[in-house]
Structure 1
Amino acid sequence: MNRKNSILGRISLMILVLSLTFVGYSQVNISGTILDNITKEPLVGAYVVPVNGKGGAISDTEGKFTLNVIPQVKQLKVTFVGYTSQTIDISNKTTFEILLVSEDKLDEVLVIAYGTQKKSDKTGAVTQVTSKELNKGRITDPIQGMQGKAAGVNISKQGGDPNGGFSVNIRGAASITGGTGPLYVVDGVVGIDPTTLNPDDIESFNILKDAASTSLYGTQGSNGVIIITTRGGAFGRTSSDQIKVEYNNFISFDKVANRLDFLTGDQLRQYASDVNSQNFSDNGANTDWMDEIYRTGISQQHTLSFSKADENTSYRASISANNLMGVINGSSRDRYIARLNISQKALNDKLTLTARLSGTFQKSNFVQYGGGSSPDNVIYQAMRRSPTDPVYNADGTYYESDRSFQYNNPVALIEQTQNEQDAKKLLGNFDASYKITDNLTAQINTAYTRDDNQSFYAQQASAFSNTTNGIAARSYNNKNYKYTSEVLNYNNTFNEKHNLNLIGGHSWQSVSYDGFRAEARNIDPFYEDVQSNNLQAYSQIEWGYVSSYRSIEEGLASVFSRAIYDFDKKYYLTASLRRDKSTKYGDDIEWGTFWAVSSAWNIAKEKFMENVSLVSELKLRVGYGLTGNADIPNGIDRVLYRPTGLAQNAETGELEVVWNNNQGNISNPNLAWEEVNELNVGLDFGLLKNRITGSLEIYQKTTKGLVMEVAVPVPPNIAPKKYENAGEIQNNGFELTLNAVVLDNKNLTWKSTVALSSNTQETVTLGNLETNQLGIKKLYVSGRGLVGGDNYTQVILPGHEIGSFFLPVYVGLSGDGKFLFETASGGVTRDVTKAQRQFVGSAQPDLIIGWSNYFKLFKGFDASFSLRGIFGHQIFNVTKMVFSNPADAPTLNVLESAISGEAASITSDPTISTYYLEDGDFIKLDNISFGYNIPFKPESSIKNLRVFVNSNNLWMWTKYTGLDPELNFSGTEFGRDQYDVYPRTTSLTIGLNASF
């Protein structure tokens, strides 16, 4: 019996073990289909691997797979060559449709005017910069992220003012009077300010550079178009009910990158002794005034977002806080942005509704700089102030001197001046798309934005060394913008090879402004605690005034259409047409017509290319089109009057409003927009199975009918000027972009992009203004010792570039230290008025290069850096001209170089000439970043955590001796390194990116 029980016990134990083993190895069947997210074509040979499990599967010819996994496996990883890998949650489902996103640049989806297009189908000059390709680290402005990333797009910022913006120029300036910056389109809404966006909310930039791409924007497209798409949940990408949470932050420390060497107090005393100065006032201090106004700037940004998407609903909500403390005391910016993007599909996926809401709230504190030698220019005062002056008196009050009414204590200017602005920008955008048939879709997009700005300014009397009582002012400015567009989109394929896309639509937009200002001056006493916050508290004022305005509403109505055809993805033809009516132009101008046509030949698909293994992609593009420029001041086509007071009517004896010409110009009912004609030839290529890809663009862009200010006689005219269409300028250039996967193995991936561009510009004609042999004088320079009306450095003249320097040529010094200049006859004169001005260079660069690199290193490390160079241009060094006159010392401060070498022997006053003209070439390390991705187990709530360290403007090479060779290239007045700009900064940043 015992033996029998023993045998039964052993059998029971074996059955129990086998049962547990069976349970442990019971499996769940998972199946699905893997498709391209755009074309919905099946991906054959994709790998499906269980996370923390064994085995795997490969998709078949229909993209389908089947896989058995143990219950402990909760996730699958799907990979396919050339596509971004994807990890899906299998906790609640067993059947999936998995959409993979292509990494192949030639298969990207471009956002173009009123639609989208595969990159391999483009016929125009369009460049895309995705969020993954943007500069990393301390990015506080969306435009900063794409600096150096796109050929032909020059992005610059002069100085590090936290309240300053970036200048963007695409393919050279296309206007003289009008604006030269691009049009911004955000989520299909034209005219949105990109600074209202958080850089972390951006999905991509699509840059439209030629007329064939921008013609559907009519009078707004002449300077290029930048289309920004914001992030939102992508339908069908999320396979679980979990909400994706992302948190990004950084903290940054900023220092002044370059400081000029001014004399110290001891050096100034020694110089006064050396020259036996009789008017030197030594006040016993050794003050470094730049140290007194500079500080270490501390900046930080935090972004928190929530997103979710399934087959029918997607949303993303984010909130960000960005706090910038400038390197000059008193300068700062606090910006808070909230955004919600939500989309819903309905009616069996025929209807898609999208709502976008955002609010940007900003508080800025300014310090006064610019304006040359003005008494409230903080930077100029710090440079000029004698270092022997103390900051404070013995009793703690600010030290002031009677040296000159123009030279004030810069510390007092900062601390006793209130200069603030509160800005609020709200956006509501609604987009509805309805699929009428399988081939026809209707879409409406409407938006409203409201900008409110309140400014506060107050300054105490003691901020100045001269006798000026206090000032207090408040102002309010408002902008209302409305936009709507309706588009029909038809898309079909005939006989499997003929592909046709047609769109037709209408758009309308309007903008209006209004504002109010109240100011009190000569306030005595001044209440420091009140400042400008309660003007009525100042009962004792000498005088004050109140002003208000409401602008004429600017409107633009448009109709447009476009046809895109291709045969078998080999031969492409695109044609577009737009008609615009704008309120900015003359009453006799009805509608403007803008059009473009472009074509492409995909050479790589021809049979004769089948055996050319080196070339994987080769496509030739040609386009020509006409766009316009409506970015000119509103109302210049007419006479505007404003009330200037009351006067008694001589006949009736009653008081009547007196009206005066507000702008000083006469009307021109025939004033029209500037027209820009552009020819573009492009070549897209891929080599070594697209290991190397790129594009070459060659273009000619001609602007006709420039809006110019023309002098007219008075009388018979009621004003001395009018605006008319006269003149022509032409831009010619090329752009080259190269993308290369330099290394790609298990331990190291290196991707590199070079963007190179060159643009030459010529003024063809100035119309009636050519009677003035000196053309249009530009870029006047001001400073101590500069008087008279000939202090200009550039002219706009037919046959020359905008930005051409036209200067007396410096040939040396006379024995008594006077400047010598070349005359028209080849002789020499010390009288600059008798010197021959000559064209001696240009502020326009010959070559702009951007080089971006990304490294994926071993064990989760990554690195990136971006270099940028600008070559072949000159800069007029105003800083050297103003602060290198030894005659100013020892009363005022000067550069160390002013009292040594050749400069010490100069006895002439500063004089406009080539003596101050220098080469402006530079190479700058814009951005360098190192990161580490901390690994976590798949079941962890932390899906990704990357920590990084970053530096902006860490290094620069240049032979230029001024403050900063990087200048803004917008408008028509550039090429001058003014001494009173906000200093350039170098930053060190640490931060993290996390997702849950």
Structure 2
Amino acid sequence: MKTLFKSTLMLLLMLPMSFFAQESVSGVVSESASGLPVPGANVIVKGTTNGTVTDFDGNYTITNVQPGDVIVFSFLGFATQEIPYDGQTTINVQLDEDAATLEEVVLIGYGSTSEQDATGSVEKVSSESFNKGAVVSPEQLLSGKSAGVRITPGGGAPGEGGQIRIRGGSSLSGNNDPLIVVDGIPLDQRGVQGVRNQLNSINPNEIEDFVILKDAAATSIYGSRASNGVILITTKTGKKNSPLRLEYDLKVSAGQIIDKVDNLDAQEFRALIESTPGTDPNLLGEYDTDWQDEIYQTSIGAIHNLTASQGFDNFSYRVNYNHTSQTGVLKTDVYERNALNIALNQDLFDNHLKLALTTKGIVDENRFADQGAIGAAVAFDPTQPVYDEDLPFGGYFEHNTMSNDQVIPQLQATRNPLALLETLDGRGKTMRNITNLNAEYKFHFLPELKFNVNAGFDYAENEGHNYRPRYAAGNGLYIQGREYTQEYSGINRNTLLDFYFTYKTELEALDTEMDLTAGHSYQEFYIENNNEYTVADDPGYRVEPSVINRNALESYFARASFDIANKYLISGSVRRDGSSRFGADNKWSTFPSASVGWKIHNEEFLLNSNTLSQLKLRAGYGVTGNQEIGINYGYMGIYSPSVGPARYQFGNQFYNTLRPEEFDADLKWEELQTYNVGVDFGFFNNRLSGTVEAYYRETEDLLATVPVPAGANLSDLLVTNVGETVSKGVEVGLNGTLIQKEDFNWDMNYNITFQDLEITRLSLGENPDFFIPQGGISGGVGNNIQIWKEGYDPSTFFVFRQVYNEAGQPIEGAYADVNGDNEITEADKVPYKKANPDYFMGFTNTLNYKNLDFSFTFRGSFGNYMYNNTQSGNGFVTAGTVTPQDYYSNLNSNVLESNFVNNQLFSDYYIQKADFVKLDNISLGYLFPGEKVDFRTSLTATNLWTITDYDGLDPEISNGIDNNFYPRSTSVVLGLNLIF
């Protein structure tokens, strides 16, 4: 409208003299190399805001052009062209690739490089390759797109994040998540309290690209936090010399669960109870209730994005408002986000000073459902009704008994699943701001030298409550008849100040390009949380004091890179980190790296090849660290005050106490050494390109929580440095343009990763049989199904080997006598299978025909196993029939196959193969170009289809234990996008 108004006003004022002078011009902008159209290219009259952008087919029309004007054609990655206008009605332009521009496309931490000059394992995933649909959490955009990166979606809760693993992780008790850097700010790896996923604060619609740093040669510039890889997220900004652009994007979604836990229905349950000796069928009801149907619903959601952007010669801006609202498939579960994203860029002093400001203001609101209802729906008697107005539980049926002439709930019975959901008012609100100001100054007297300052903060405040009314039977902490409220609040503060110099120059005498970086970084993290519980008739029964957690990291870093004769690459970096989490003797550590590369395609014997367009060999070595151990002062003796009922009684008086905590004065960093070799290749002008990499990693001084001898410390468990792990793998990534025509394109991406992780040392002693139980399961108190043991993957299961009869049926209580002592004891348990896959893959295809686009993504995982705890916990007769009260619990349908009467929790019968292939994402879209408005509509389906032999709810659960899992939904998304 602004352009139209200005041009109309000028037309009225100058009509007599310009009637024959003002013209319009149209044409097509295409690539000179391929002849393909360039959509989104900027076409602007130089020195004005009169301009437009090309449509999907590269077409443009620009009006109010006068003879003598200069029309500027520009697009990222191509050389800008300026063409004088002398009255022609058609101007077709072919843009040449700008080699200088294309080289500066990959961030590597405190700088950038080109893909062909990178010597470390670096991969960029741009917005064109992202997964489509109603994406709430940013990591969903990346799933299946990169070799070596495995993203396991969380449960189906709205806004729930996924687990990100780069090359499998490297720690045991330490954090295995990668370091996430958003617009230059490293996020706190512990997350932000009060939210389902801290990455939800980053609007997926505003992400320009991800850059994944995988090996130590690429990550060691981040030193102590880089053992598990680094993901750099860059958000969108305005473009220079671009006209005002308004965009509205809407995505409406609906989802349903695709499967339920296979339980006995009411008829099967009645038959089992009636046929089981010692049971009383009179305790059963007369109903046929599917409790899983009662707690699940169709989820609905909507994502709105309204964006304005514009660019001038030395200033650009982008403003985005986002509103996201989504309900869960579990009733009462709701997520809502309101966010404002602003990006400002200003060039001053003839482009010698560049200022960039990004700020993200987010209000994240949740109503949290009681996920205990999922397990309750699996276990509740299907012959009982949902409601009973005659009982004093708010109209809900509950298993009950009499006490002092009052009806009270059976204390050990499962609670009514729907009542658990509908009687809980659990709400939380988090207000967060992530702001970063970057200043880059190019020295006037030495333009090759630049000084960068990066100042940022990530600040969040949260508050919320959990409330259950007096009548609720399932109030969690207190017996029925006592109303309780939990109120909580907290602060997360993350402040950053970086400054560094970069010096890039060409040493002509040596035919070498040199790139040097050196700088300093300081980052401080502060967490405060408060909890207060109040109970009706007993105010202040339990009050939790404020808990403050604070630590800081100071760093010095440097990097040097050399490109010799555009053929030979040498790069090295070093970072010196000091952490407040370790004592004086271990506070500082150094993390070096070195890497080399050989651009073979630039050698004389390949320089004129018509087939091979790229061939580069590279190798690297580096050391990184891990300080995320979950505690801040594990190296020093501290005392914790008692809270609530944890007080000591003298007579009738209760006194607070101070409790000494366990500590290890020699606690220090985990250190990870990585060796990496890779080859990058491209054929036929890179229409077929790819990467093959192999890596080997050793983690030393492994941080783990281990048992210690009685009296050796102040606890029987201690976080200390105890061992080593070794991981290795091979990654293959392929990209292909299978068809490249004027009206039709077909692009393909395939990646596959083979990996292996093994604990090579664990105990402080030399006992080869030492192990640490892991992986808690339901069905008993303190039971674990996994094991940490030398020679095995950390996700290995620890079980008895089941014995079967001739018909292939498991024999209850019959296990293999592994040690041959003629009795079955704990000594006969063996490590067996593992939850981590042997290999996993992603496969994406994108097709475009004129204005029609179609894409789909498959993911697969192979060699991984699952412990089916839904079967083992409820898949035997006495799980539902032997109780001290007068009620029965439902059973898993597997009981009809196994015929187990008593629990067989540690039988390998429940370790099941969980290979899968998923059709993760499929999308169809069409663009309707217009003179004033471009309109695009799309239809997307997610989590559409799974091929697996696993018997449980979902073969993809991060810890390998299937129990009380929040089911993921299959969603259908309608998208509408308008560009003005």
**TM-score bin, normalised by smaller chain:** 0.7 to 0.9
Cα distance in structure 2, aligned partners of 1:795 and 1:77: 65
Other-structure match for 1:393: 388
Residues 278 and 698 of structure 1: CA distance in aligned 2, closer, same or farther (over 3 Å): closer
1:575-594 aligned at under 5 Å gives the runs 575-594=572-591
Other-structure match for 2:517: 503
1:443 aligns with 2:478: no
Q: In the alignment, which of 829, 837, 844 is matched to residue 837 of structure 1?
A: 829
1:497-536 aligned at under 5 Å gives the runs 497-521=511-535, 523=536
1:864 aligns with 2:855: yes
Residues 186 and 823 of structure 1: CA distance in aligned 2, closer, same or farther (over 3 Å): same
TM-superposed CA distance for 1:543, in Å, is: 5.5
TM-superposed CA distance for 1:397, in Å, is: 1.2
TM-superposed CA distance for 1:839, in Å, is: 2.4
Q: In the alignment, which of 800, 804, 825 is matched to residue 812 of structure 1?
A: 804
TM-superposed CA distance for 1:336, in Å, is: 1.0
Cα distance in structure 2, aligned partners of 1:658 and 1:334: 41
1:615 aligns with 2:612: yes
Q: In the alignment, which of 551, 568, 575 is matched to residue 571 of structure 1?
A: 568
Cα distance in structure 2, aligned partners of 1:555 and 1:816: 56
Q: Is the 8 A contact 1:813 1:906 kept in 2?
A: no
Deviations along 1:693-738, whole A, 9 cap, x unmatched?
0111100111101123455556575555544322110110011100
Which one-letter code corresponds to 1:874 in the other structure? Y
Which one-letter code corresponds to 1:780 in the other structure? G
1:977 aligns with 2:977: no
1:177 aligns with 2:173: yes
TM-superposed CA distance for 1:267, in Å, is: 3.1
Residues 148 and 106 of structure 1: CA distance in aligned 2, closer, same or farther (over 3 Å): farther
TM-superposed CA distance for 1:893, in Å, is: 4.9
Other-structure match for 2:256: 255
Q: Is the 8 A contact 2:873 2:903 kept in 1?
A: no
TM-superposed CA distance for 1:127, in Å, is: 0.6
Which one-letter code corresponds to 1:958 in the other structure? T
User: Which has the higher Rg, Structure 1 or Structure 2?
Assistant: 1
1:412 aligns with 2:397: no
Which one-letter code corresponds to 1:155 in the other structure? I
Q: Is the 8 A contact 2:260 2:953 kept in 1?
A: yes
Cα distance in structure 2, aligned partners of 1:930 and 1:967: 29
Residues 895 and 958 of structure 1: CA distance in aligned 2, closer, same or farther (over 3 Å): farther
Cα distance in structure 1, aligned partners of 2:38 and 2:368: 57
Other-structure match for 2:639: 641
TM-superposed CA distance for 1:545, in Å, is: 2.4
Q: Is the 8 A contact 1:616 1:685 kept in 2?
A: yes
1:296-695 aligned at under 5 Å gives the runs 296-369=298-371, 377-394=372-389, 397-402=395-400, 404-405=410-411, 406-436=413-443, 437-464=446-473, 467-495=480-508, 497-521=511-535, 523=536, 540-541=537-538, 544-610=541-607, 612-632=609-629, 633-644=631-642, 660-661=658-659, 664-668=661-665, 670-695=666-691
Residues 913 and 459 of structure 1: CA distance in aligned 2, closer, same or farther (over 3 Å): same
Deviations along 1:293-317, whole A, 9 cap, x unmatched?
1110001100111111122001111
Other-structure match for 2:937: 947
Which one-letter code corresponds to 1:867 in the other structure? F
Residues 918 and 103 of structure 1: CA distance in aligned 2, closer, same or farther (over 3 Å): farther
Report the identity percentage.
30
Residues 90 and 552 of structure 1: CA distance in aligned 2, closer, same or farther (over 3 Å): farther
TM-superposed CA distance for 1:367, in Å, is: 1.7
Q: Is the 8 A contact 1:159 1:985 kept in 2?
A: no
Match of 1:462, SS? Answer: coil
Cα distance in structure 1, aligned partners of 2:674 and 2:766: 25
Other-structure match for 2:191: none
Q: Give TM-score, length-normalised by structure 1.
A: 0.84
Cα distance in structure 2, aligned partners of 1:390 and 1:852: 47
Residues 505 and 89 of structure 1: CA distance in aligned 2, closer, same or farther (over 3 Å): farther
1:217 aligns with 2:222: yes
Cα distance in structure 1, aligned partners of 2:643 and 2:74: 76
1:877-892 aligned at under 5 Å gives the runs 877-888=868-879, 892=888
Cα distance in structure 2, aligned partners of 1:720 and 1:45: 70
Match of 2:169, SS? Answer: coil
Which one-letter code corresponds to 2:848 in the other structure? K
Cα distance in structure 2, aligned partners of 1:105 and 1:277: 80
TM-superposed CA distance for 1:772, in Å, is: 7.1
Residues 47 and 704 of structure 1: CA distance in aligned 2, closer, same or farther (over 3 Å): closer
1:757 aligns with 2:750: no
Residues 429 and 657 of structure 1: CA distance in aligned 2, closer, same or farther (over 3 Å): farther
Which one-letter code corresponds to 1:692 in the other structure? L
Q: Is the 8 A contact 2:922 2:940 kept in 1?
A: yes
TM-superposed CA distance for 1:916, in Å, is: 0.4
Gaps of 5+ in 2: 1-16, 44-60, 189-197, 402-409, 645-652, 882-886
Q: Is the 8 A contact 1:246 1:994 kept in 2?
A: yes
Which one-letter code corresponds to 2:580 in the other structure? T
Residues 75 and 331 of structure 1: CA distance in aligned 2, closer, same or farther (over 3 Å): farther
Moved more, 183-192 or 73-82: 73-82
Residues 604 and 287 of structure 1: CA distance in aligned 2, closer, same or farther (over 3 Å): same
Q: Is the 8 A contact 1:623 1:679 kept in 2?
A: yes
Other-structure match for 1:531: none
Deviations along 1:43-97, whole A, 9 cap, x unmatched?
9999999999xxxxxxxxxxxxxx9999599998969999699999999999999
Which one-letter code corresponds to 2:955 in the other structure? P
TM-superposed CA distance for 1:640, in Å, is: 1.9
TM-superposed CA distance for 1:500, in Å, is: 0.5
Residues 645 and 263 of structure 1: CA distance in aligned 2, closer, same or farther (over 3 Å): closer
Cα distance in structure 2, aligned partners of 1:105 and 1:800: 48
Q: Give TM-score, length-normalised by structure 2.
A: 0.85
Cα distance in structure 1, aligned partners of 2:968 and 2:78: 40
Cα distance in structure 2, aligned partners of 1:477 and 1:551: 10
TM-superposed CA distance for 1:592, in Å, is: 0.8
Gaps of 5+ in 1: 1-21, 37-41, 53-66, 370-376, 524-539, 647-654, 969-973
Q: Is the 8 A contact 2:382 2:890 kept in 1?
A: no
Q: In the alignment, which of 853, 866, 869 is matched to residue 875 of structure 1?
A: 866
Q: Is the 8 A contact 1:884 1:894 kept in 2?
A: no
Aligned-residue CA RMSD (Å):
3.8
TM-superposed CA distance for 1:443, in Å, is: 0.8
TM-superposed CA distance for 1:35, in Å, is: 14
Residues 270 and 606 of structure 1: CA distance in aligned 2, closer, same or farther (over 3 Å): same
Q: How many residues of Structure 1 are paired with residues of Structure 2 in the alignment? A: 900
Cα distance in structure 2, aligned partners of 1:141 and 1:89: 47
Q: Is the 8 A contact 1:263 1:893 kept in 2?
A: no
TM-superposed CA distance for 1:272, in Å, is: 3.6
Other-structure match for 2:247: 246
Residues 70 and 983 of structure 1: CA distance in aligned 2, closer, same or farther (over 3 Å): closer
Q: In the alignment, which of 924, 927, 941 is matched to residue 921 of structure 2?
A: 927
Cα distance in structure 2, aligned partners of 1:656 and 1:469: 24
1:751-830 aligned at under 5 Å gives the runs 751-768=747-764, 770-771=766-767, 773-783=769-779, 786=780, 791-812=783-804, 818-825=812-819
Match of 1:604, SS? Answer: helix
Match of 2:793, SS? Answer: coil
Cα distance in structure 2, aligned partners of 1:503 and 1:801: 39
Cα distance in structure 1, aligned partners of 2:181 and 2:720: 29
Cα distance in structure 2, aligned partners of 1:393 and 1:981: 28
Deviations along 1:267-307, whole A, 9 cap, x unmatched?
33344445577412232221111111111000110011111
TM-superposed CA distance for 1:767, in Å, is: 3.9
Q: In the alignment, which of 667, 676, 701 is matched to residue 697 of structure 2?
A: 701
Which one-letter code corresponds to 1:741 in the other structure? T
Residues 792 and 712 of structure 1: CA distance in aligned 2, closer, same or farther (over 3 Å): closer
Cα distance in structure 2, aligned partners of 1:614 and 1:645: 72
Match of 1:411, SS? Answer: helix
Residues 121 and 556 of structure 1: CA distance in aligned 2, closer, same or farther (over 3 Å): same
TM-superposed CA distance for 1:101, in Å, is: 6.9
